[in-house]
Structure 1
Amino acid sequence: MLILSAFFSGMEIAYVSSNKIHIEIEKKQNNFLSGILKKITKRPSKFIATMLVGNNIALVIYGFFMGDLLMEYIPLAGFGGLLVQTIISTLIILLTAEFLPKVFFQIYANSLVKVFAVPAYFFYVLFSFISEFIIWISDLVLKLIFKSEGDTVQLTFSKLELGNYISEQMDISEAKEEMDSEIQIFQNALDFSEVKSREAMIPRTEVVAVDIDTSPKELAKLFTETGLSKILVYNENIDDILGYIHSFELFKKPANLKKVLMPVVFVPETMLVKDVLGILSKKRKSLAVVIDEYGGTSGIITVEDIIEELFGEIEDEHDSIALIEEELGEDHFKFSARLEVDYLNENYKLDLEESENYETLGGLIVNHTEEIPEKGETVEIDKFTFTILEVSNTKIELVELKIIHED
């Protein structure tokens, strides 16, 4: 009876915890198992009711046999004897028929729902009349007292279920040289609604900008050197952005930059990129200045940067920043400090700590040391050793990473 109780408890939690998309895909396989899954999951409430009915019947029968067994081996009379027998019986049930099977079935929910589908269907049919009667009573109570529609079947999947299924497919693809681009785009699309401007922007240190007093001739030369189509213009310093100039405007041969200066959109670091994209679309702009909480320039974000959050890196002939990522050996790498932590975790399975306090590998190190390390300095964070290969006065440029294995 305890085995049956464990089975019913486990299948109940397995169905609730399983990924519904995974089950739906299994149901489309057109084999014997898919047919069984279709039948037991056609009405989720009936399946859950069946498991509950079966569990209760098993526990009642267990109670009869366990009472006789305990009376034989623990012949205590009175209230004290009843209390001891109840505690022992309850502990056995909780351990063997509730806690352990529910933990096990929850961990391996997707697999065990398929493995035990056939015996579950047997009890589904056996207890069908009782389950239907219980559901009818519960629906009646819901309609009369709570004015609810009663038993309904969920026809949609949650974003979490979609995300979990895509993550499973990405884990399966680990052994492949290249992940299916459609899976990656789908995963990016699910994460897109949570991406903030500061996660997608070009940082302040890489922004190309000129002073308002710069001559058009000097600006034309800068356009040629950088290959950019738009350059920001500031007054005195980069924290006071006045606007931007498009390279086409220089064909008008302006006397000074003020004549062709175009207004720019300002957005906070915390604004979601989907909202930034909406603002840029409405104002017919392709560039926005990202500002921090103090009103200073934090960086810039373009429509291209936002699109890259969905489709990955888009390279063109003017992309000049070469980010280094080399695998020097087993668990030994050389990375540009500009690379994002989540990118490294995703592509190299490093499990570096992610935080809202930083986005890049350099940010992770500075967040830990609370200062910019010297060249050649070694920094240990969790199971990782970072050796600083190149550094400037304001940021870390290049690091060597090694994974420390505990013996």
Structure 2
Amino acid sequence: MEISIIILCLILSAFFSGMEIAFVSSNKIYLEIEKKQDNFVSKTLTKLTEKPTNFIVSMLIGNSVAMVIYGFYMGDLLLRLAIDWGYYFSDWLNLLLQIVISFLVMLLTAAFLPKIFFQIYANSLIKFFAVPAYLFYKLFYFIAAIFIKISDFILRKFFKTEGDTIQLYFSKLELGNYITEQMSSVEDSETVDSEILMFQNALEFSGVKARDVMSPRTEIIAVDLFDSIEELKQLFIETGYSKIVVYQNSLDDIVGYVHSFDLFKKPKSVKEIVIPVEFVPETIFIKDAMNLLTKKRKSVAVVLDEYGGTSGIITLEDIIEELFGEIEDEHDSGEELVEKEVAAGVFVFSARFDVAYLNDTYKLQIPEGDSYGTLGGFIVDFTKEIPEKGDAITIGAYHFIIEEATNKKIELVKMTIQE
């Protein structure tokens, strides 16, 4: 009977300790979604989480009761076992041995292992044990309420602070963890919900800088301020763009842009229809760039490098695409970037891919740096020049063969990971 009571107390203590840590560690978004399900468990979860502090205090009370009973019976059992086995110690030594052995058994079986296990599988276990947890919650509810009122009184009276408050929000980290779980659970052949992708983009949005989404200088289509209207019209026809950048002397002196709609005003010169642009540094976050553009009612900004030269241009469309994904119109060229694994450890990539994207997607470890962002930039940063088609370059454990390149940039590379 004593051994049964001791084992039962250890199980209950492990349960109370585990549910306490599971409740604290569980993803609040996951719990909210589970609570919206129309079933018995979801209703139980709703009742459990109505008053989080009451639930935690109830678990602490249950754990304390189990430990007191465990300590009483465990001490008595150890004392009788010592006498039966012929071991005789002083009263102080007997007490010390009882404390040490009881503590080690309790720590291993009812505290350490359960808390680790319940923390790892917090979301699943809090749902699985919701019903028994609710029974104990109701059993100790009134005792917990009394302790909470006493603690609130002490906090307000002596420490001049507010009493217990319920946290009605979840953190950005919890949202990110939940979305990551959803993304990882989707098979490659399945399509991820657009809402999940949008949330993921929104979480990453605050950390994206202008240089990450801008159109680089080499891809800017521009017209000189003193070019003729006919030349401007022809450029609009050839590119299909609705906006074209206007510069004076060079791309480092951009004065604005023109919209194709303004050609209906029959201007006599490009200068008459130039719309001013904003200038932003490469390191500005796109959320700040978007605020700047919307306040100034502009749709185009010139991105400047550290020397004040033109690094690229960024538009509101570029920024919005970071949230909602690629937005294609009838004038988009439809050019697709190449990314494929042709063999084990052998890849073919467009040089425009971000190094961070390739590392995350293909579990690579290509070094990342502030002086470059793309795979092409990584290679050029190492070679200090634009490689030619057919060149072979080895950077650490990565061997590159330049498949396509121009005199201005690398287009396509074949990358082999060397053992």
With the shorter chain as reference, the TM-score category is 0.7 to 0.9
Matches within 5 A, 1:41-52: 41-52=49-60
Residue of structure 2 in register with 1:399 after alignment = 413
Compute the displacement of 1:70 (Å).
Answer: 5.5
Give the secondary-structure state (helix, strand or coil) at the position aligned to 1:327.
strand
The 2-side partners of 1:43 and 1:353 are apart by 48
Give the secondary-structure state (helix, strand or coil) at the position aligned to 2:195.
helix
Structure 1 residue corresponding to 2:44, chosen from 30, 36, 57: 36
**Identity of paired residues, percent?**
60
Structure 1 residue corresponding to 2:376, chosen from 362, 369, 376: 362
Give per-residue Cα distances to partners, 1:137-158, cap 9 Å, x unaligned.
1121222234444233333333
Is the Cα contact below 8 Å between 2:392 and 2:399 reproduced in 1?
A: no
More divergent stretch after superposition (244-253 vs 34-43): 244-253
Residues 344, 93 of structure 1: CA spacing in aligned structure 2 closer, same or farther, 3 A cutoff?
same
Residues 52, 397 of structure 1: CA spacing in aligned structure 2 closer, same or farther, 3 A cutoff?
same
Gaps spanning 5+ residues in structure 2: where? 1-8
| 2:292 counterpart of 1:284 | no
Compute the displacement of 1:343 (Å).
Answer: 5.0
Residue of structure 2 in register with 1:98 after alignment = 111
Compute the displacement of 1:49 (Å).
Answer: 0.6
The 2-side partners of 1:67 and 1:370 are apart by 75
Give per-residue Cα distances to partners, 1:237-291, cap 9 Å, x unaligned.
3222222233344556656544443321112223332332232223222111112
Residue of structure 1 in register with 2:254 after alignment = 241
Residues 149, 209 of structure 1: CA spacing in aligned structure 2 closer, same or farther, 3 A cutoff?
same
Residue of structure 1 in register with 2:124 after alignment = 111
Is the Cα contact below 8 Å between 1:324 and 1:334 reproduced in 2?
A: no
The 2-side partners of 1:146 and 1:200 are apart by 51
Residues 212, 35 of structure 1: CA spacing in aligned structure 2 closer, same or farther, 3 A cutoff?
closer
Give per-residue Cα distances to partners, 1:325-372, cap 9 Å, x unaligned.
3535565542212123555567x5646669573543334555678876
Residue of structure 2 in register with 1:377 after alignment = 392
The 1-side partners of 2:366 and 2:114 are apart by 33
| 2:63 counterpart of 1:63 | no
Residue of structure 2 in register with 1:124 after alignment = 137
Give the secondary-structure state (helix, strand or coil) at the position aligned to 2:255.
strand
Give the secondary-structure state (helix, strand or coil) at the position aligned to 2:307.
coil
The 2-side partners of 1:312 and 1:326 are apart by 18
Compute the displacement of 1:201 (Å).
Answer: 1.4
Give the TM-score, by structure 1 length: 0.84
The 1-side partners of 2:60 and 2:152 are apart by 17
Residue of structure 1 in register with 2:21 after alignment = 13
Matches within 5 A, 1:5-404: 5-68=13-76, 72=82, 77=90, 86=99, 89-250=102-263, 256-320=269-333, 322-329=335-342, 333-341=347-355, 344=358, 348=361, 350=363, 357=370, 358-363=372-377, 375-377=390-392, 379=394, 387-392=401-406, 395-401=409-415
CA RMSD, 1 decimal: 3.4
Give per-residue Cα distances to partners, 1:169-227, cap 9 Å, x unaligned.
22222344322222212322333333322222112221122444444443333332222
The 2-side partners of 1:302 and 1:221 are apart by 23
Give the secondary-structure state (helix, strand or coil) at the position aligned to 1:399.
strand
More divergent stretch after superposition (7-16 vs 393-402): 393-402
Gaps spanning 5+ residues in structure 1: where? none
Q: For residue 377 of structure 1, what is the amino acid of its counterpart?
A: A
Which has the greater radius of gyration? 2
Q: Alignment length, in residue pairs? A: 403
Give the secondary-structure state (helix, strand or coil) at the position aligned to 2:245.
strand
Residue of structure 2 in register with 1:4 after alignment = 12
Q: For residue 27 of structure 1, what is the amino acid of its counterpart?
A: K
